[in-house]
């Protein structure tokens, strides 16, 4: 860990911790204080299916490393399921093993559409990822989007749900999520038993899942140029974590735990460039320990009503927010800053009154896509908050994808 100079503005780590906490609710951020405690990674799963093989680096991104049939998760009807472990790549270019769960209609026809759905995962524990959470008896971990995904399966589509936070549960790491999403699609198409090799492919997600979807769409032309994507639909997506960081304050907030989790998740993904743990005071270390393997409800509970001053000494540390290292991490994980543009149509929706995400970053990104010739449909839905917009915009997203799979030419709001 690099040494930290002794002075800083209060808002630096505060904004950093808040930057990617857009999974569920408005978030405020955290500040620095000295600590020599090491980074805490999530507890390993006892299921050996998730283990990385010794020859991981010898495989191509998207290669299937292992497969197993599983029962359909609760809430899914007339559905077959298989889990695929595949080779992917983390944010710094190192090979990792990732997992996606592919749900298909029973007796599905080959060549049917494939939808990669990026679920909202507000978590630091590996047990909170969809491939595990869908098979627990805990209703808090259920896939809330199951009714909408059942509609897709009833249409004859297969739905792949990747664990897009990766093997370290790196909450907040959008670049990682985009790469895992694309490699999960590759894996589903390469697994011959599914019959998806020639299928049209779409992507969808909301909030944190929307961020992974938007990033996947943006980097597809460079990271996975061979994929023939029909389109992507995403809503409530944080498109610029730097702008979001600077827009958020530092008052006590009921959703502060999500901010803390995002900072710790980014630190896991960039251990040499995100000095978060070393800045926490004793209360911050205690909160870190409480949420290091937690899912949404526990993260919200333990962090409720806290602020940056509760977890770190605001007088310690250097101005990290505008440092070269942190700005590079922000750029890596902000869709607005990605130079490439999608090579397939985009449907984007959000609430015009969403106070959690920087709407101007969405507008700027969509304008750039329009200028580059990408067919874009933007829908500003009448929703009072971030969460209700997810439900209101879903029918439009499914209609958009249905039309793309049917080969109907896209309209555009450009």
What's the confidence (pLDDT) of residue 258? Answer: 82
Residues in contact with 121: Cβ distance below 8 Å, sequence separation at least 6, in sequence order: 23, 128, 129, 130, 163, 164, 165, 171, 208, 209
Residue 266 sits at φ, ψ, to 5 deg, of: -65, -35
- Say if residue 2's pLDDT is above 50: no
Instruction: Please say if the pLDDT value at position 361 is more than 60.
Output: yes
**Mean pLDDT value across residues 109-119:** 96
Does the structure show a pLDDT above 70 at 267?
Answer: yes
Kind of pairing between the strands at 376-381 and 346-351: parallel
Q: What is the DSSP letter of 50?
A: G
In terms of phi and psi (left: phi > 0; alpha: psi -120 to 50; beta: otherwise), the region of 249 is: beta
Q: Which residue has the tokens 């969403």?
A: 354
User: pLDDT (tens digit, 9 = 90+) per residue, 21-80?
Assistant: 444 333 333 333 344 468 999 999 999 999 999 999 999 999 999 999 999 998 898 999
Output the pLDDT for position 84: 98
pLDDT at position 9 over 50: no
* 279 confidence band (pLDDT: 50, 70, 90): confident
Give, in order, the Cα–Cα distances in Å from 238 to each of 339, 343, 381, 395: 17, 20, 16, 21
The band of 11, judged by pLDDT with boundaries at 50, 70 and 90, is very low
Instruction: Flag whether pLDDT at 317 surpasses 50.
Output: no
Cα(192)–Cα(73) distance, integer angstroms: 22
Residue 382: how many CA atoms within 13 Å on its side-chain side?
Answer: 0
What sign for the dihedral angle of Cα 49, 51, 56, 61? positive
At 324 the pLDDT is: 83
Locate 163 and state its tokens.
């664990």
Start-to-end CA distance of the chain, whole Å, equals 46
Residue ranges per domain, the chain? 1-343
The CATH class of the 1-343 domain is: alpha beta
Q: In this structure, what DSSP letter does residue 165 have?
A: T
- Lowest-pLDDT range, 47-61, 258-272, 363-377? 258-272
* Nearest residue to 274 (alpha-carbon basis) of 206, 328, 340, 347: 328
How many angstroms separate the CA atoms of 24 and 259, rounded?
11
- Please, which residues have CB within 8 angstroms of residue 220's CB and are 6 or more apart in sequence? 182, 227, 229, 342, 343, 344
d(CA 229, CA 401): 11
pLDDT at 248 over 60: no
Please indicate, yes or no, whether the overall pTM of this predicted structure exceeds 0.85: yes
Band the pLDDT of 314: cuts 50, 70, 90. Answer: low
The band of 310, judged by pLDDT with boundaries at 50, 70 and 90, is: confident
Q: Which residues pair with 67 in a beta bridge?
A: 84
Q: What is the pLDDT of residue 97?
A: 98
**What are the tens digits of pLDDT across the range 197-243?**
999 999 999 999 999 999 999 999 999 999 999 999 999 998 988 77
**Average pLDDT, stretch 142-156?**
85
């Amino acid at each position: 860990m690099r040494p930290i100079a002794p002075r800083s503005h209060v808002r630096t780590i505060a904004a950093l911790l808040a930057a990617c906490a857009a999974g569920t609710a408005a978030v405020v951020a955290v500040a620095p204080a000295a600590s020599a405690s090491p980074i805490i990674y999530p507890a390993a799963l006892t299921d050996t299916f998730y283990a990385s093989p010794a020859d991981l680096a010898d495989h191509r991104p998207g290669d299937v490393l292992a497969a197993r049939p599983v029962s359909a998760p609760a809430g899914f009807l007339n559905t077959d399921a298989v889990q695929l472990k595949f080779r992917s790549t983390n944010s710094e270019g190192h090979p990792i093993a990732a997992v996606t769960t592919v749900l298909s209609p029973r007796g599905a026809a080959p060549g049917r559409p494939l939808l990669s759905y990026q679920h909202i995962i507000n978590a630091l524990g590996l047990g909170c990822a969809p491939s595990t959470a869908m098979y627990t008896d805990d209703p808090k971990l259920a896939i809330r989007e199951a009714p909408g995904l059942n509609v897709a399966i009833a249409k004859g589509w297969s739905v792949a749900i990747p664990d897009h936070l990766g093997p370290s549960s790196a909450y907040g790491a959008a670049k990682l999520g985009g790469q895992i999403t694309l490699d999960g699609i590759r894996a589903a198409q390469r697994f011959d038993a599914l019959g998806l090799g020639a299928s049209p492919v779409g992507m969808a997600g909301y909030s944190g899942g929307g961020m992974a979807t938007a990033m996947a769409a943006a980097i597809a032309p460079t990271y996975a140029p061979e994929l023939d994507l029909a389109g992507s639909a995403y809503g409530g997506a944080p498109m610029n974590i730097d702008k979001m960081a600077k827009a958020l304050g530092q008052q006590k907030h009921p959703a502060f735990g999500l901010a803390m989790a995002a900072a710790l998740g980014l630190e896991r993904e960039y251990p040499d460039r995100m000095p978060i743990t070393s800045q926490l005071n004793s209360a911050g270390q205690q909160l870190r320990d409480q949420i290091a393997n937690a899912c949404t409800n526990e993260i919200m509970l333990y962090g409720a009503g806290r602020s940056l001053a509760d977890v770190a000494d605001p007088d310690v540390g250097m101005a990290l927010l505008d440092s070269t290292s942190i700005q590079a991490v922000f750029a890596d994980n902000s869709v607005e800053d990605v130079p490439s543009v999608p090579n397939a149509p985009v449907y984007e929706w959000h609430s015009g009154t969403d106070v959690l995400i920087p709407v101007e970053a969405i507008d700027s990104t969509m304008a750039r896509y329009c200028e580059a010739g990408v067919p874009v449909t933007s829908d500003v839905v009448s929703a009072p908050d971030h969460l209700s917009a997810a439900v209101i915009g879903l029918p439009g997203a499914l209609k958009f994808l249905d039309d793309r799979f049917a080969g109907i030419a896209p309209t555009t709001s450009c």
